[in-house]
Chains A and B, each alone.
Chain A
Amino acid sequence: MDEQSGRRGPSLGRPLSRRAVLRGSAALGGGALAASLAPGRVGRRAAAQDAPKPQGKLLSWGYGTENPVAQARIEDFQRAFPDVQLEIVPEFDDAKLLTAVASESVPDLLWLDRLATAGWASREVLTPLADLIERDGYDTGRFYESALAEASYDGQLYGIPGSMDLRVLYANLDALAEIGVDPATIDTGNWDRLNELGAQLVKRDGDQIQRWGFDHKVWSGFFYLWGVGNGGSFMNDEGDEVTFDDPKIVEALEWGVKGFDDQGGFQAFEAFKTTFQGDEQFARGQVAMTMYENWMLGITARVAPELPFAVLPVLPRGGGDGFASFTGGRGWYIPQGAQNPEAAWAFIKHMHTDENWLVAGNAAKAQRKAEGQPYIPSLTGSKTADQAQLERVYEPIEAKFDAAVRLFPEVLAGSPTREITASPGATLLNQALENEGILPALRKQKEPAQALADADESAQNELDLL
């Protein structure tokens, strides 16, 4: 353990309560995590100047440069650090990283899903960033709290958030007009009403579905937002016990099952969704109302910019603080044993400057213009970069897009992270919940309460094994 502690490096001044992080991240204006991670002393800037000048080979895994945003950001880094020879491997999977770690030939940088933070950090694959942050007086306060929480494990920050996603409701206004509903009157805290609208919006031709009414995406990982939005909790405060059988979680799943039943059943939906292509179902009018991540806006702008739609934040059931949503995204990490950690850290810092994001935003806007399409800013994980893009790059398109683009930062600030993110077994817990809890209930194999009890037992079994 001593050796392990040695590899980890000194811990942050104040260890974070896991629960506090999760709850704190949900609260608007909350900043406990950011404050604890950011030394915030200007005097440390001088120390940053003493840091070795990065140079040499820098191997990065997972970040591709096929899109204009990534391409522009990488080029901007290369201009700023001409002595660093950046080598990019756009794709990797867990098995490849596992092999690299086992053979002690890791890259210098990893672009990882933040959900994987705890799993890799608990195996001591990732470098804690506290020392570097402290040395350079790096301000982490600019990042969304939930994103920092996702990139942390056991009180230590391991990654710097580099992208962000959230979940909102997309509503097709033509479809709503067909049933005589004004979108302004939709109360997204009234979940039963959402199910009712779904049932009215389904369109059939004989036994064939032509259009699905409302996809709450309980089946596809979104159940966390409904469970928490219903007042439930998926784990205990200590993070060592799953609580999938929480009555509020059961109630949320019952609501989800009813939503599908009222529209013709989950099996009918499953058959219909096989005709979806490239996440374009909303843009192509195959689903009238759907929960989706922020990037559905970009897809709609590309596929059907003329589609009349509205983006609505979903509220906790019956109203309340924050939003029924959760955040996610990727971040930059430095593996333990990296050959060039200084260059890796310089890269991470540079890639999160507002200027770097502005370069990227302008490049993306130019490309979209050339293609005759509107530009939608990426969500960066940084509050200041999001704001800078919105103020200095974004050009208003039309009300429906503008409203959505301005809504996103607000939803981000009010969205919690998933409670399971803090567990090294997050993926296994997620699988148990989905495969043994949610899907059997949606498919009428089991009652929601029984399904969630079974999922709880399986997930706890997995957790105990870790």
Chain B
Amino acid sequence: MAGLPIARPIPAGAAKRRRISDEALAGWISISPWLLGFVVFTGVPLLASLYFSFTKYDVIRSPEWVGLDNYRRLLTNDRLFPLALRNTFTYALMAVPLDVATSLGAALLLNQARRWQGVFRTIYYLPAITPAVATSYLFIWILNPNAGLLNRGLRFLHLPAPQWTVDPFWIKPTIVISQLWVLGGSMIILLAALKQVPAPLYEAAWLDGAGRWRRFKDVTLPMISGVLFFVATVGTINALQVFTQGYVMFDKNGGPEQSALFIVMYLYNRAFGTGTFQMGYAAAIAWILFVIVVAITVFQFRLSKRWVYYESGDER
């Protein structure tokens, strides 16, 4: 027997470990292009911007460490930053609920359509793939106080014609209106959710005597609440980063009374405005915005436990 190799059983755990290790390696290799891209194009710039936010930096000259000066000045000695914050929050508070409501309304109507649903779905989705610059220009003309289509119609009906693009009171509603036209993305997601609601639930509710409203309130809404939460959360994050509409429909300073000066516009002006190049200051604005967005999102997640229903019972 001596000299003969003795096959020793390999411990099951070790084989499993190696197999897992191989799988993990393959996994890492597979996602390595993304990882590399993330590190190079997102991770490093992210950390760099955090560093720059503590400096005075104009790209041409070396960054000069100023500690918390940028943040201190932003929060205590800058007239425009609080204005931009206020404008952005006001816009988000108007835009997000209206966007969710109109998207849901459109999705419900589409879900009712027995014929040509595909055609209507396409038509409603088209504005979402139209460039934001084009839709902004379109609405600046539709809402032109003097010669716009909307005010001509209102005057024809002897109704008051607001100074949409001129009166600071109407500036944000003007942008919200132009945004509501672009409801296609949220609508498609909500329509998909509506189609997932099990028909037996409606039948059961109907047999129990529930009317349309009760069926909507007690069956539809809870069953799509997860998707509604998603649409609202993503909508909020997008609304807090609104830029194109304010920049194109008005100007880089936000039009009358700077009512359309949003945080990202202000950030852009500080970073790339003519002769400005205050990259450090702009980075500080970006980080404050980031903290605000995270805080609001965490708040929304906490709040969601009260109203979002997950069929699986898993709240995550």
Contact = CB atoms under 8 A, between A and B. Distances in A.
Contact of A461 (B60, B77, B163, B278): B77
A425 B145 contact: no
A435 B260 CA distance: 13
A274 B165 contact: yes
Interface in B137-164: 144-147, 163
Contacts of B277: 94, 98
A389 B144 CA distance: 43
Contact of A275 (B60, B77, B146, B273): B146
Query: Which secondary structure dominates where chain B touches chain A?
Result: loop
Given A208-B146, A271-B166, A275-B146, A119 B275 contact: yes
Interface stretch (A15-23, A137-145, A163-171, A437-445): A437-445
Interface residues of B, number: 28
A116 B167 contact: no
Contacts of B274: 94, 116, 427
A454 interface: yes
Interface stretch (B110-118, B128-136, B251-259): B251-259
Interface string B255-267: 0111000000000
A270 B274 CA distance: 25
Interface string B166-190: 1110000000000000000000000
B272 A94 contact: yes
A116 B276 CA distance: 11
Interface string A242-284: 0000000000000000000000000100111011000000000
A452 interface: no
A434 B257 CA distance: 11
Interface residues of A, number: 37
B60 A271 contact: no
B58 A123 contact: yes
A94 B61 CA distance: 16
A38 interface: no
A125 B273 contact: no
A377 interface: no
Contacts of A445: 257
Contacts of A427: 273-276
A194 interface: no
A418 to B, nearest CB: 14
A272 B77 contact: no
A454 B277 CA distance: 23
A102 B59 contact: yes
Interface string A411-442: 00000000000001111100100111001100
A95 interface: yes
Contact of B144 (A102, A275, A443, A454): A275
Given A95-B272, A427-B276, A436-B79, A267 B60 contact: no
Interface of A: 94-95, 98-99, 101-102, 116, 119-120, 123-125, 208-209, 267, 270-272, 274-275, 424-428, 431, 434-436, 439-440, 443, 445, 454, 458, 461, 465
25 contacts: A94-B277, A95-B272, A99-B59, A101-B59, A101-B60, A102-B60, A116-B274, A116-B275, A120-B275, A208-B146, A267-B163, A267-B166, A271-B163, A271-B166, A272-B146, A274-B144, A274-B146, A425-B275, A427-B274, A428-B275, A428-B276, A431-B253, A435-B253, A435-B258, A454-B79
Given A270-B166, A434-B253, A435-B253, 7 more contacts: A116-B274, A119-B275, A267-B167, A271-B146, A274-B145, A425-B275, A427-B276
Interface of B: 56, 58-61, 73, 77, 79, 144-147, 163, 165-168, 253, 256-258, 272-278
